[in-house]
Structure 1
Amino acid sequence: MGIQVSSTAQITLRTANSNAVKNPQPVTGRILYDFRYVKDTSRRDYIYTETLELDYTKTSSYFTSYTAKQNDTLMQQQLAAAFKNAPDPDRVEITLTGGAAASSDKFYTESHPQPRVYAIRRLAGTAFIIPASQVSINWKIIDSTKTIQGFVCQKARGSSYGRQYTAWFCTDLPYRFGPRRLHGLPGLILEAYDDAMEVVYHLNRVEDFNTGLAPIGLPGDAETTTSAAFAQAEEAFKRNPQAFIDANRGKRTTGRTAGITDGFDPSKIKSINVRKSSTEPAGIKANNPIDLVKDPS
C-alpha cells in the first residue's frame, strides 16, 4: 500500500551518511557549536538558531547539523510508538511532530597532503561531491587571547566567501579545522563570527575523546561535480522531478540508508501526518546567504 502524506510542512525522509566512504578515518573527537544567523536582513529581530557538529580526525573533519540528527531520532521514536500502539498493525496511522529547523549543509575538509574542502549535497537520493575552488584562507594571527570553557584560545582574522571573520582557536587541540569552510589555523576553531555578527558560531562543548562515532570520509558512491552544474541539476529537478529521478536512477545512493523509516515496514503505513512546529515568524526570507560570494567553479 502506498504512503499518503498529509502535512502543513514539508518533510524530508533523510538518509544517514553512507558506510561506504572513501578512505575512512577514525574520529578523534567532536565539537558542537551553537549557531546564530541573521537569515533575513530586513528582519534582524529574528535570529535563526541551530546546533551544528564538527567531527574531526588528525587530517580531516566532517561538518553537519546536530539538530538534524536529533530531529531524526525524535521522528524514529514517534514511528516506533505509532507501530507499537496501532489498533491495526497492518494499517498504521502516524502523526509526526517536526523538530527544530535544521540545515542540510555538509562539508568535508582534508588538511593533508594538501588542504581541500568539499561540499556534500543530495538531490533526489543522489549524492554529489562539490570541491571548493576557494580553499586557503589568508589568516592573520593576532596577539590576543581569551579562555573559552577552560580552553585558552588565540585570535585570528580572515576572509571566507565574502565575509570577514574573527576566529578563536586553541593550539592545545592541534587540529586545523573549524565550522563550515573555516579551517587552516594551528588549532581547532572554538568560536567564530563575521564582522556584522550575522553568522556566529559559539562553542557548546568539546568532546576530544573516544566518541564511538562512525568513521568519516567522502561518500564512496557520490558523483563529483561543480557548483554551477549542481545548480543546473537543482533547476532541472524543480522543473520536472520525475524526469530528473529517471535520468539519475543508476546514480542513487546504494550505501547505508538508515533513514527515519529504517527498521519499519513501509507497506504497513496507512498514512503519515506531519504537524508543523517551526517557530520562524511568517514572511522571513532567506536573503542573506552565509557565503556572500558564490564558488566560481
Structure 2
Amino acid sequence: MKKYLSIALLAATIVLNAQVTANRFFYELTFKPKQDSTKVEKVMTILDITKDKSLYRDYTLVAQDSIMKIAVEEMQKSGAFKDLSKTITMPKFGYKVEKEYPAMKETYSDRISSGFTPMQIAYTEEPKFNWKISNDKEKIGDYNTQKATTEYGGRQWTAWFSTDLPFQDGPYKFAGLPGLIVKVEDSAKNYSWLLRGNKKVENFQELSYAETITPGGAGKLTVIPRDKFEKTLAEYKKDPFATMRPMLTKEMMDRKMPGMDGTIGDMLKKQEKMTRDFYDANNNPIEMYSPSKK
C-alpha cells in the first residue's frame, strides 16, 4: 500500500511540476488599420512570459475562453449544434510572436487553412533593434520609465521601458532593453502599445479554448523562409478557400447545416466573407517592409 501511495505522490508531484505559471502583461494597442484613413481602433493584446519564453497575441479569443466553454458544454448536454459565431467576437489580429529565452530567437506565425485542415505558417528571425537609450525619464502609470529609440520595419519607434519590471521583452517583436517595455509607438502614431496591467496565470496554456476544440487544433506549425511566408499569406488573403474549393461537391454544399438556417454552402460563404473582411480591414502593416525588401 505504501509503495502505491509513494508512486501516486510522485506522479502528482510530476504533474504539479509540469504546470507552468506565466506573468501576463496586458497591452492596449491603438492603431490605424487603413493607410489612407484617420480612423483609429483599439484592441487588448497580451504578452505571456514564462521561464523559457514569451508569447504575444491578440487577447480577444483568450478573453472569451469561459464563455465558449459554457456554450460548448451546453451543446454537449442538449445534443443540439449552436452557431457560436453569433456570440463570439473575432480577433483583430491572428498572428502570434514567440520569443525563446535567452537567445531571443523569435517565431512569427499566422494561421491559414490547407483544404479542411488548419495550419500555422511561420518564420524565425533574431531582429536587431539597435536601441539608443537616452537620459529622458517619465512616469507612466505606476512605473518609472526611461526613453529609447530605434528604427525597424521602415518606421521610427520610441519606447519607454522600466527596470522595475526585470524582463528584457515587450509587445510584438520588441525586446532587448534593460527592462520591460511599458509603452512603444512609431513616430506617426500608426501603432502604439501601452501597458495597462498584469497578473499571474497559473496552469498557463498557450492555446485558447477555441483552438483546443477546433478540429485539427491550432494546426501544424510549418516554419518556412520569410519571403515564402509572405508570399503564401498574400495568396491566402486573396482567396482563403482556394485549397478547400476543389473538395466541395454540390451534394455537400446543398446539405442542411445542423442547428443553422441554411446549407453547408451558405455557412462556407459566410466564413469566406468573414475571412476576407478580416484581412481587408487592415492594409497598414506594422512593418512597412521586411528585411528582404529593404
Q: Specify the TM-score bucket, using the shorter chain as the normaliser.
A: 0.5 to 0.7
Deviation of residue 129 (structure 1)?
Answer: 2.8
**Corresponding residue number in structure 2 for 1:16:** none
Residue 230 of structure 1: CA displacement? 2.3
What amino acid is aligned across from residue 288 of structure 1 in structure 2? Answer: N
Report what 1:115 is aligned to. 104
Instruction: Give the equivalent residue in structure 1 for 2:185.
Output: 193
Q: 1:166 to 1:58 in 2, by over 3 A?
A: farther
Report deviation, 1:61. Answer: 1.3
By how many angstroms is 1:203 displaced? 1.3
Give, in whole Å, the separation in 2 of the partners of 1:110 and 1:25: 18
User: Structure 1: where are the runs of 5+ without partners?
Assistant: 1-23, 246-268, 279-283
Q: Which letter does structure 2 place at the counterpart of 1:162?
A: G
Q: Secondary structure at the match of 2:146?
A: strand
Indicate the RMSD between aligned Cα atoms, in angstroms. Answer: 3.5
* Residue deviations 1:184-221 (CA, integer Å, cap 9, x gap): 101111111111111011111022x46442379xx995
Point out where structure 2 has 5 or more consecutive residues left out of the alignment.
1-17, 208-217, 248-256, 262-266, 275-279
Give the TM-score normalised by the residue count of structure 1: 0.67
Q: Please name the residue that 2:242 is paired with.
A: 240
Secondary structure in structure 1 of the residue aligned to 2:244: helix
Q: CA deviation at 1:41?
A: 3.1
Between structures 1 and 2, the one with greater strand share: 1
Shift of 1:77: 3.6
Give yes or no for the alignment of 1:214 onto 2:205.
yes
Deviation at 1:138, TM superposition (A): 0.6
For residue 168 of structure 1, what is the aligned residue in structure 2?
160
SS at match of 1:270: coil
Structure 2 counterpart SS, 1:222: strand
Asked if the contact 1:115/1:136 (under 8 Å) is kept, the reply is: no
Instruction: Pick one of 46, 52, 76 that aligns with 1:53.
Output: 46
Q: Which residue of 2 aligns with 1:12?
A: none
Residue 43 (structure 1) aligns with? 37
Residue in structure 1 matching 2:259, options 271, 274, 277? 271
Residue in 2 that maps onto 1:106: 96
Give the conservation status (yes or no) of the 8 Å contact 1:153–1:169.
yes
Give CA-to-partner distance per residue, 1:15-43, whole Å, 9 cap, x none.
xxxxxxxxx99444110011110111332
Deviation at 1:227, TM superposition (A): 2.3
Secondary structure at the aligned position of 1:118 is classed as: strand
- Name the CA shift for 1:215/1:290 in 2 (closer, same or farther; >3 Å): closer
Q: Is contact 1:82–1:93 with CA below 8 Å preserved after alignment?
A: yes
Q: 1:159 to 1:103 in 2, by over 3 A?
A: same
As a proportion of its length, which structure holds more helix? 2
Match of 1:66 among 59, 62, 67: 59
What is the total number of aligned residue pairs between the two structures? 236
- Residue 198 of structure 2 aligns to a residue whose secondary structure is strand
Q: Computing the radius of gyration over CA atoms, which structure comes out larger, 1 or 2?
A: 2
Deviations 1:124-150 (CA, angstroms, capped at 9, x unpaired) = 112233113x61101011111122232
State the Cα deviation string for residues 51-96 of structure 1 (Å, max 9, x = none): 0000113552110111121245434444444565x5xx3x445462
Which residue is 1:253 aligned to? none
Cα distance in 2 for partners of 1:215, 1:175 equals 19
Distance 2:192 2:24 in 1: 18
The counterpart of 2:122, out of the listed 119, 125, 129, is: 129
* Paired amino acid for 1:37: F
Given that residues 58 and 91 in structure 2 are in contact (C-alpha distance below 8 angstroms), is that contact kept between their aligned partners in structure 1? no
Q: Which has the higher contact order (CA 8 A, sep 6+)?
A: 1
Identify if the C-alpha distance between structure 1 residues 215 and 233 changes in structure 2 by more than 3 Å, giving closer, same or farther: closer
Identity, % of aligned positions: 23
Equivalent residues of 1:34, 1:50 under 8 A apart: yes
Cα distance change on mapping 1:242 and 1:215 into 2, 3 Å: closer
Instruction: Identify if the C-alpha distance between structure 1 residues 31 and 82 changes in structure 2 by more than 3 Å, giving closer, same or farther.
Output: same
Q: What's the counterpart of residue 292 of structure 2?
A: 296
Q: Could you tell which deviates more after superposition, 156-165 or 230-239?
A: 230-239
